Structure 1
Amino acid sequence: MNAIDHFNDEQHQEFLEELSYEFSISLDKRVDAVQSEIIERISQKKNWVAIEDIMKIHPKSTLQEIGDKIGITRERVRQIKVNICSLKCELAKDYRIEQFLCWSCFESNQPLIFIDELDNRLIGLLQDIKSQLIIHRKTASNSFYYS
């Protein structure tokens, strides 16, 4: 017996309505909401926006280079990067981004999500949270590898 078996009729109906609502929110709206909340939350923290911007513009910058640009230690940059990544993972989980993608693939009978089939905002979010759902298509040999 699972937890849903203990619902009374009203709870069961409420659960089904919530589930239906969850899957009626489009992927675009979910990604927009996550990105909006990321911007809102990191803008409240000192140096977080600057670090996020530098990481986007110059992804190969070292911790020391980032710290030198904004006047903090490389250790503090590392801590902030970890916090930003944790925030993104938390929000992606809260908005059920990966679950929605899995459900969408299941419904459409597509087992894989190829990197070139996603829009840039979603690619960035999935890469930021180190998602295992996307795979890259190698152009030369037409083989595949996971992110």
Structure 2
Amino acid sequence: MGNKKFLLVAFVLAAMVGCDQGNEKKDVSAVQDSKTASATAIYLPSGSGLDFGRSPVRDVLGEDDRSKIRDIFYDFTESPEEVDSALAAVLASDGFSRRVNEPGRFNLNVTYRKGGKAESSYLVSARYTEFVREGFSKGTKLRLTWRYDFKKISPLLK
């Protein structure tokens, strides 16, 4: 129960720190260089801040013919539903809508969207996979993915 409260407090604090101060798109690196940034906080292209109170297990920057892509991976002791509930609360307070997708190979697959038009829309994918730790306790792997610095708009965003 203590972990749930810690997660919720971390998300609420991140929401307050990362509130968007306008509708303009911000460069991820510019936002992250802020002197007030937490060592464990991450910032979405929308300016929304998330702080899980821990460093990511992995942080991967990639690029394809459409845009740059960022994948960030975290491990939690809570269930996918508990982690996503806390994440949903923070992103909803910053204007994101939530859509649950077919799980596919994941236990839970959710897309968060902020904005309506393709040119000004922010999409964040949250995919959760349960795993068993040493000692047979369950854990959750979270993979957060988003695109930024678009070279051309995807037909999926229209």
Instruction: Report the TM range for the smaller structure's normalisation.
Output: under 0.3
More helix by share: 1
Q: Which has the higher Rg, Structure 1 or Structure 2?
A: 1
More strand by share: 2
Instruction: Answer 1 or 2: higher relative contact order, Cα 8 Å, separation at least 6.
Output: 2
Q: TM-score, normalised by structure 1?
A: 0.25
Q: TM-score, normalised by structure 2?
A: 0.24
